[in-house]
Amino acid sequence: MDEEAIRKVLARAAALQEHGLQDSATVPLEQQAAVKEFLDAAEEGGFARGAVVHALHESAPVLPPSVTPGSLVFAPSGDGETYVAKVLAIKDGQVEVRFFNGATARVYCEAVEPFAPLPGQMVLCQRVDDWLEAEILEYDPKKHYIRAKGEWGTSGFDLGQVRKWKPAEKPAGKNLTWLLLAIVFILGFVVSELTGSRH
């Protein structure tokens, strides 16, 4: 995992932690030695273990077990953006999805990620002809509807008006920078120990 990937996972873990996700069930991912070291270091840095595990799962490059026919995902569209879609089928390494505007597409499994609308998750919401940053406050799965707040206030949006938020590049604070350096060092040490190479 490179420094940018670590930064993204920890930023997402901080957002999840801020909104109350502290604990998570034990998952196989936690049992991998290098990941365990990463989780321990992040926990020492003040991050809730459950939030970090959840953020790691969100950033995983493989199709998570939660992506099944009928589940909601973020999937890329022909316009280059990533929208909420419903999984119709999974076959031959591809996922067939239907976007909430009615369009369908087949995309590679690596291109989709679960849409887990947790409070505090950042998304882009369509207001008139513009897409604006918003924080999810709540989600109604029966109506496929979120309530979100942004600079304009609080509004409701159906999932056809929601797409994936891409964080702007912002320099990390001093504490996060030191934590990232410590984690990179620990991961480097773990990898060298696992491969048996000595300097």
pLDDT at position 161 is 95
Q: What's the CA gap between 44 and 40, in Å, rounded? A: 6
Q: What's the CA gap between 72 and 85, in Å, rounded? A: 6
pLDDT at position 125 is 94
Q: What's the CA gap between 107 and 104, in Å, rounded? A: 10
pLDDT at position 108 is 86
pLDDT at position 61 is 45
Is 10:47 a contact under the CB 8 Å cutoff?
A: yes
CATH 2.30.30.140, domain 72-114, yes or no:
yes
List the end-to-end C-alpha distance of the chain, in Å, as a whole number: 21
pLDDT at position 3 is 75
Q: Where do the domains of the chain lie?
A: 3-60, 72-114, 122-164
pLDDT at position 160 is 94
Q: What's the CA gap between 198 and 79, in Å, rounded? A: 49
Alpha helices in 21-131 (DSSP H): 33-44, 49-59
pLDDT at position 19 is 61
Q: Which residues of the chain have pLDDT under 70?
A: 1-2, 16-35, 57-66, 168-178, 189-191, 194, 196-199
Q: What's the CA gap between 71 and 36, in Å, rounded? A: 29
pLDDT at position 180 is 72
pLDDT at position 126 is 93
pLDDT at position 171 is 45
